[in-house]
Amino acid sequence: MRTRLKDVAERAGVSVKTVSNVVNGYQHVSPALRAKVTVALEELGYRPNLSARTLRRGRSGMIALALPSVRGPYFSELAHLIVREAEQHELTVLIDCTYGDLTREQTVAEGFRTQLIDGMILCPWQLGATDLRRREDTTPLVLLGERVSNGVDSVAVDSRAVGEAATEHLLSIGRQRIGVLRSLPSNTGGVVSKIRLDGYKRALAAAGLEFDPALVVDVDRPHGVDPRVATDALLDLPEPIDAIFCFNDELALVAMRRLYEQGYRVPDDIAVIGVDGIAAGATITPTLSTIVPDKQQIAAEAVRMLVERIEGDSAAARRRVKAGFTLLPRESTMGLQRVRRRPRTRPARQATRS
Amino acid sequence: MRTRLKDVAERAGVSVKTVSNVVNGYQHVSPALRAKVTVALEELGYRPNLSARTLRRGRSGMIALALPSVRGPYFSELAHLIVREAEQHELTVLIDCTYGDLTREQTVAEGFRTQLIDGMILCPWQLGATDLRRREDTTPLVLLGERVSNGVDSVAVDSRAVGEAATEHLLSIGRQRIGVLRSLPSNTGGVVSKIRLDGYKRALAAAGLEFDPALVVDVDRPHGVDPRVATDALLDLPEPIDAIFCFNDELALVAMRRLYEQGYRVPDDIAVIGVDGIAAGATITPTLSTIVPDKQQIAAEAVRMLVERIEGDSAAARRRVKAGFTLLPRESTMGLQRVRRRPRTRPARQATRS
DNA sequence: CTGTTAGCGCATTCAA
DNA sequence: TTGAATGCGCTAACAG
């Protein structure tokens, strides 16, 4: 049997309450007793039973983070930041993967790990306003993304502004026919993609250009159009394109590879811009121009709002926070950095295929 | 107040026990009562209080996963797989970031979230055998990696074999002077790096080549030598190298960029191989040859062993499972795929700098 | 300042 | 098959 508070009390010759006081860092304990208790605590190797404490306190100090996935550069970074942020508030994060599955998202919204978590942050892909209205669970909830505009706290980047910024950047370097590789994860309503495309259209309109639907190709991984095929589709257009706006960096990487395979040069022939700011983008050649959402801000705001809900009156008005982003112009739009060609000291090798 | 078992019981006009039976799917409940209870459950929107249940059962159905970070391609993928694997066993995963910090690792090993988690999987970077011997907490524990060889269950890839395989591959394509970019996270004892280097030496020896310490450069992010500088160091060696073995793919990406900046061609001048199998490696040009640890196996074995500990007698002998890996030869060692140069239909553009 | 006691919500003895 | 009572370990009222 595990050592309980009671065991420690007996050992130290004090009451349970006193031990509890010491464990919880209460002020009003005489030094003498505190010392005795501390020794007993140490000797018995006491560890509080968090379930019991949670049951009693009605608080566990844990929050859930429900994401479509924890894999992939975007969500893993976001998860990391949220975990860090939660730590600041002495909260532990329980991560749950929804796989963008509606049923799972509903389960989460509708009382997941009840009473074991003090609140949760959910990034919905399919969950709709209806689901949320039906919601009976009273656990504080903060939503990530623009999907739902219901009476729930949420934080998201302004996708329209993102679409606009990317497009404006491409226009600013003289590109006129801008293809779009739009990611439509098969399991999403694609709200974000839709809004981003609005931004694209707006930027075009502001530049006096007409929107051409043929320039927009949907990429629907993993069950839909392969990104390579989608890129080819853009390249095969009768009137050639001079830039591609990819809705995420991973897509951009694939597109750039495809452009290489098809003999196009980036950015000379075709400029490429992505969204996310994944690490590889800074390292590949050409380095990838991209738009970086302020994940740190997203994490901080989400946790802050959640903590407020947990601690404060749940009655406060629902808030909708807009997170910022940054345009990072790099080589895939601005042109390759000049490199110094080294004198070659030995003949170029042939790779020996085995 | 939240609806409790008792409330449901009153509503349905039955005892608490019966409701509990229904909730937990007990067999021996008469259909009539079951129906009544189900209705009451629905009407009141009952959600079990997991803290109470945990306290009573002595099991929470949660396990902790303590990693240095959840960011980055390797750990995020691993976390993902472990979460999936845990789900198969109806376990929820609580993720904790240690940042490779010794104190935090000790905290985790020494009774983290006691009684709230049924077991844990820890990937130690600094924790030593001493810490583990001292361990008083009885929560089942499984270790990831080769760091500790104590009386604890663990699963890890054979780093020596990895080092050997990478080196042999480079030798097999005719490279003889193989530089090593060795990652030594500032907070690690670098056990893995050491063992991998052993593999490198062994492969060299087997090929009748002498080991040259000058060929090994340590990269110590974020506080130590910049990977770019480290790459330069290899390039500045009096006797030129013809290959680089990078201890992880991210490092390889940086090295390849640096090679480009310095005017070397990959793989013609210098072949590059990494370890991890990150997604970007399949997409960049040249695609990155790499060694992919079988993360799925690691995840599966870790969870399996943990579950056995949780359910079975804790007395069973400690096991040390070796996970497999795969060599993925790609363009960065095998040579570029031939590309078709398209007829250019319009003059090459100049990127207009704004 | 410290001890006694009740009860958080649930699962589970033991009776019926 | 079902109901009543007990206690999991802890914290917070309330006494002392």
- Looking up residue B22, the CATH number of its domain turns out to be 1.10.260.40
- Global pTM? 0.88
Residues of chain A in contact with residue B240, where contact means CB-CB under 8 angstroms, are 345-346
Determine the residue of chain A that is closest to B79 in CA distance.
Answer: A70
Domain count, chain B: 3
The verdict on B161 touching A (C-beta cutoff 8 Å) is no
Strand C close to B332 by CB, under 7 A: no
pLDDT at A80 over 50: yes
CA distance A25 to chain B (A): 18
CATH number, domain containing residue B167: 3.40.50.2300
State the amino acid at position B341 in one-letter form.
R
- The whole-number average pLDDT for the span A68-80 is 89
Instruction: Check residue B255 and give its pLDDT.
Output: 96
Q: Where are the alpha helices (DSSP H) in chain B?
A: 5-12, 16-23, 31-44, 50-57, 73-88, 102-109, 129-134, 159-172, 191-206, 227-235, 249-261, 295-311, 331-334
For residues A29 and A71, state if they share a domain.
no
Whole-angstrom Cα distance, residue B254 to residue B56? 53
pLDDT at A206 over 50: yes
Rounded-to-5 percentages of helix, strand, coil across chain B: 40, 15, 40
pLDDT at A303 over 60: yes
For residues A91 and A240, state if they share a domain.
no
- The whole-number average pLDDT for the span B251-279 is 95
For residues A289 and A224, state if they share a domain.
yes
For residues B251 and B163, state if they share a domain.
yes
Tokens 């309450």 belong to which residue?
A17
For residues B110 and B128, state if they share a domain.
yes
Tokens encoding B280:
């970007």
Q: Which residue has the higher pLDDT, A343 or A30?
A: A30
The 3-state DSSP class for residue B115 equals coil
- CB of B326 closer than 8 Å to CB of B276: no
Identify the H or E element spanning A157: strand A153-157
Measure, in angstroms, how far nucleotide C14 C1' is from residue B56 CA.
Answer: 18
Whole-angstrom Cα distance, residue A185 to residue A58? 39
pLDDT band at A222, cuts 50/70/90?
low
Task: Tell me whether residue B264 is in a domain.
Answer: yes
For residues B113 and B141, state if they share a domain.
yes
Whole-angstrom Cα distance, residue A160 to residue A169? 14
Region of poorest pLDDT, from B94-98, B229-233, B244-248? B94-98
Tokens 């009768």 belong to which residue?
A238
Phi, psi of A9 (to 5 degrees): -60, -45
CA distance B114 to chain A (A): 6
Q: Which span out of A96-100, A223-227, A293-297, B151-155 was modeled with the highest average pLDDT?
A: A293-297
Starting at the earlier edge strand, list the strands of the sheet with B325-328.
B216-219, B178-183, B243-246, B271-275, B289-293, B325-328
pLDDT at B343 over 50: no
Task: Tell me whether residue B197 is in a domain.
Answer: yes
Please give the residue range of the domain that contains residue B14: 5-48
Mutate to test the interface with B, among A57, A77, A103, A116 (most CBs of B within 10 A): A116
Instruction: Check residue A174 and give its pLDDT.
Output: 96
Task: Tell me whether residue A349 is in a domain.
Answer: no
